[in-house]
Amino acid sequence: MGIELNGVSIDETFAEAFPMKATRIAITAHNPTWVMHAAMSATGFATSVIACGCEAAIERLLTPEETPDGRPGVAILLFAMSGKELAKQVERRVGQCVLTCPTTAVFAGLAEGEAIALGKNLRFFGDGWQTSKVINGVRYWRVPTMDGEFVAQETTAVTKGVGGGNLLLLGTDTDAALAGAEAAVAAMRQVRNVIMPFPGGVVRSGSKVGSKYPALMASTNDAFCPSLMALAPRTELTSDIRCVMEIVIDGLTDVDVANAMRAGIAAIVERGAAAGVKRISAGNYGGKLGPFHFHLHKLVPGAAA
Instruction: Give the list of residues 6+ apart from residue 39 with CB closer than 8 angstroms, or none.
Output: 27, 58, 74, 76
Do 150 and 244 lie in a common domain?
Answer: no
Do 30 and 119 lie in a common domain?
Answer: yes
- Distance in angstroms (rounded) separating the CA atoms of residues 259 and 299: 8
Average pLDDT per block of 10 residues along the chain, 305 residues long: 92 97 98 98 97 97 97 98 98 98 98 96 98 96 98 98 98 98 98 98 93 93 96 95 98 98 98 98 88 97 77
Q: 67 is in which domain, residue-wise?
A: 21-159
Q: What is the pLDDT of residue 1?
A: 64
- Distance in angstroms (rounded) separating the CA atoms of residues 98 and 40: 10
Q: Rounded to 5 degrees, what are φ and ψ at 124?
A: -65, -15
Q: Rounded to 5 degrees, what are φ and ψ at 218?
A: -145, 155
Do 170 and 293 lie in a common domain?
Answer: yes
Do 31 and 151 lie in a common domain?
Answer: yes
* Bridge partners for 251 per DSSP: 162, 194
**Considering 115, 137, 159, which residue would you say is the last residue of a domain?**
159
- Distance in angstroms (rounded) separating the CA atoms of residues 59 and 26: 10
Instruction: Give the list of residues 6+ apart from residue 141 with CB closer than 8 angstroms, or none.
Output: 119, 120, 122, 123, 126, 130, 131, 132, 151, 152, 153, 154
Q: Count the neighbouring beta carbons within 10 Å of the beta carbon of residue 3.
A: 13
Do 253 and 165 lie in a common domain?
Answer: yes
Do 216 and 282 lie in a common domain?
Answer: yes
- Distance in angstroms (rounded) separating the CA atoms of residues 303 and 262: 10
Is 304 a member of any domain?
A: no
Q: Is 227 helix (H, G, I), strand (E, B) or coil?
A: helix
Do 136 and 236 lie in a common domain?
Answer: no
* Number of domain units in the chain: 2
What does the angle CA 104 – CA 55 – CA 63 come to, to the nearest 5 degrees?
Answer: 35
CATH code for position 202: 3.30.70.520
**Considering 108, 137, 159, which residue would you say is the last residue of a domain?**
159
Is 171 a member of any domain?
A: yes
269 DSSP assignment: H
Is 169 a member of any domain?
A: yes
Is 134 a member of any domain?
A: yes
- Distance in angstroms (rounded) separating the CA atoms of residues 155 and 114: 10
Q: What is the pLDDT of residue 303?
A: 81
Q: What is the pLDDT of residue 285?
A: 83
Do 36 and 98 lie in a common domain?
Answer: yes
Q: What is the pLDDT of residue 2?
A: 82
Are the CB atoms for 60 and 75 separated by under 8 Å? yes
Q: What is the pLDDT of residue 286?
A: 84
**Considering 126, 159, 192, which residue would you say is the last residue of a domain?**
159
Is 81 a member of any domain?
A: yes
Do 173 and 206 lie in a common domain?
Answer: yes
Is 255 a member of any domain?
A: yes
What does the angle CA 98 – CA 95 – CA 22 come to, to the nearest 5 degrees?
Answer: 85
* Bridge partners for 76 per DSSP: 25, 58
Is 303 a member of any domain?
A: no
- Distance in angstroms (rounded) separating the CA atoms of residues 273 and 262: 17
Do 140 and 168 lie in a common domain?
Answer: no
Is 220 a member of any domain?
A: yes
Cβ density class 136-156: b for 16+ within 10 Å, e for less: eeeebbbbeeeeebbbbbbbb
Q: What is the pLDDT of residue 166?
A: 98
Do 81 and 34 lie in a common domain?
Answer: yes
Do 169 and 150 lie in a common domain?
Answer: no
- Distance in angstroms (rounded) separating the CA atoms of residues 230 and 244: 16
